[in-house]
Amino acid sequence: MAPKSLKSLYFGFAAIERQLLKMEHTGWVRYKSANGELILLKSPYRATPFDDHVKYAVPSDLRPLENDLVTLDVEGPIRQLKSRRSGSCYFDYKDWYKVVSVKKIDVNEVAYFQRPYLNSDDFRYRLSMRWKNADQDHLDFSLALQLLSCPEGVHGKGGIGTWSLAGVGNKKTPLKDLQKTITHLLPTEFLKGSNRYQYNFIDDRMSHQRVKMNRIKSEMSEVSYNHLWRLPQQSPDTPINIPTYIYNSEFIPGSFELDPDVLEYLLTALIVKPSVEDYMISKIEKTVKQVYERTYSDEDFAGLNLDCYSPLKVASAICRLDLRKKMDEDSFDRYSALFNEIMYNFIEFKKDVVDLNPGRETWTVSNVDVSNQNTRLEHIDLHILRIMREIEEDNGIEWISRWDIEHHPSFDIKLRGDWKVEDSLRRINNLGKIIKSPRGLGYRRIKFD
C-alpha cells in the first residue's frame, strides 16, 4: 500500500485538530501574500485551512511571524462576493476579518488540549509491531526517535540523523524492509517536505546532497534523515544522532495498513518543543565535550560522523515521545544513559558488520581513520572562533551576538551581512564548537581542555 497524504488519512481530523476547531480565530499563521493576507491552519503540517473562505487583514505593526500559533482578536467580517458557481445561483465568497490584536500561544500547551488515544508505550509498539524481537535491538525506540525528530534549539537546525545497519553483510533486504516500514508510517507530506518537517532516506550521492542542501538552505525547521547501506559520508550537515541496527529483529511479511492512531500521536508529539532552561547549559556543554573527546580519540567511533549534540537531540526527541514540555536535569541524565547504551551496543555490532567486512560499500575514506572534527572547519570558522575568544578575553562577555562578531576590529568589514557568516555560525554550532542561547542572547564558545 502506497503512503497517503494527511488529507486522505482521516474522515475527519486528528483529536488535537478537533480541539483547535472549537477555538475561534486560533491556529498557525500562514501568509498568502506580501500585503498581509493571512490564514490560520488548525495543524502546522496541513497545507490548506479548515475553512478556505476565512481571511484576515493584519496591520503591519501587528503581523505575527509565519508558523506562530496565535489567537486573533478581530472585527468583522466583511463578506466579499466573487464569481458565481457554475450552474448555481450561489456565489463564492471570502469573509474578511480585521485583526485588532494578536495573542501568541505557548506551542507546548497545545499537546495538552487533547491527548492522543495512544500512550508512549503503545505508540512505540505500533511502530515496530511488524518486527519480531524489535525491543532487543531498541528498534522500537530508534523508530520513535527518528520519526519524532527534534526541534530547532541551542544545537541549531532541528532533526534526527541515523545510520542503519543490518547483520547480513552486503544484503539489503532487512534495510529495505525498514525503509518500507518507515515509508508506510509517514504521510507523503513528511516524506516530500512540509513547511516544517521532512524525513529522508540517504542511499546515494544525489540524495545525500539533497539532504545537505535542505539542512543548510531550506526554511524547514526540521530535516531528519536515515543513512542506508553505505557508511555515512563525513559531513557536518548530516551527522549521526542515534544508530539503528537490525540483529535480533526479524521483519514479519504482510500487507501494510494505515494506523490513524499512530499518525494522531505523531501529529501531536511533533508540535511539542521542549524548553531548555538556562541552568541546563553547563550540563549540555559537558556532554558535548564528552562526545567530542570520544569521537576524536576512540578508534571504535572512527567514520561514524557522530553529532556532539546527540544526547541533547535524543533527549528532545524522547521529551516529544513522552509529551513533556520541559527538559529537566534528571530526565536529561536518564535519556543520556539510554543514548550511551544504544551507542555501546551499536559499536559492538558495527565491529562485526563493518570493521570485519572490508568489502562493504562505502563512499568515504577508509574506516580505520579516526574522525577529527577540526578537519571540517573552514577558514572563516576558525576566524570567527578566534574573534569570539578575543571578545571573551577583552570584554568578559559570556554570550556573543553576530553583531558583536561583525563589528569586532579584526573582522573583515566586507563580510558584514554576508550569508557566509550565518553559514559559518550554523556549521560551528552543528559541530559543537559553540552553543546557541535558548533566550536569543547569541552564542557561547564551548571551551575544551
Question: What pLDDT digit, counting tens, does each position of 1-51 carry?
Answer: 556 666 555 445 677 777 777 788 888 888 877 666 788 888 887 766 666
Query: What is the value of pTM for the model shown?
Result: 0.74
Question: What pLDDT is stored for residue 225 in this prediction?
Answer: 93
Q: What is the CATH number of the domain that holds 438?
A: 1.10.10
Question: Which of 191, 211, 194, 146 has its CA nearest to residue 3?
Answer: 191
pLDDT score for 400: 87
Q: For the chain, what is the domain count? A: 3
Verify that 360 and 383 share a domain, yes or no: no
Last residue within a domain, chosen from 55, 87, 105: 105
- The C-alpha cell at 375 is 578537519
Q: How confident is the model at residue 89 (pLDDT cuts 50, 70, 90)?
A: low
| Residues 121-131, mean pLDDT to the nearest whole number | 92
Is the domain of 272 the same as that of 417?
A: no
Same domain, 75 and 173: no
Cell 521529551 sits on residue: 319
- Please check whether residues 285 and 250 belong to one and the same domain: yes
Q: What is the pLDDT of residue 353?
A: 65
* Domain C-terminal end among 350, 373, 396: 373
- Are 340 and 265 found together in one domain? yes
Q: Please report the DSSP string for 122-162 in residue order.
A: HHHHHHHTTEETGGGGTHHHHHHHHHH---SBTTBSB--EE
Residue 90, C-alpha cell as written in the block:
450561489
Residues 214 and 297 grouped into a single domain:
yes
Residue 1 inside a domain? The answer is no
93 and 139: one domain? no
Average of per-residue pLDDT across 367-380: 53
Residue range of the domain that includes 409: 377-445
Say yes or no: 417 and 296 in one domain. Answer: no
Q: Which of 33-47, 94-108, 171-185, 380-394 has the lowest mean pLDDT?
A: 33-47
**Residue 221 and residue 97 in one domain:** no
Q: Do 314 and 335 meet the contact criterion of CB atoms below 8 Å apart?
A: yes
Instruction: Answer yes or no: is 21 within a domain.
Output: yes
* 394/269 same-domain check: no
Residue 412 counted as domain residue: yes
Q: Which spans in 129-271 are helix H? A: 139-148, 173-185, 188-192, 205-217, 260-269
The pLDDT tens digits for 172-214 are 788 889 999 999 888 888 888 777 889 999 988 888 989 988 8
Residues 351, 375: Cα–Cα separation, whole Å: 25
The residue among 345, 373, 401 that closes a domain is 373
pLDDT at 296: 60
Question: Considering the domain boundaries, does residue 213 fall inside one?
Answer: yes
pLDDT in tens, 288-314: 776 766 666 666 666 677 787 888 888
pLDDT score recorded for residue 294: 65
Segment 134-146 mean pLDDT:
89
Residues 121 and 100 in one domain: no
384 occurs within a structural domain: yes
Q: Which helix (H) or strand (E) holds 339?
A: helix 329-350
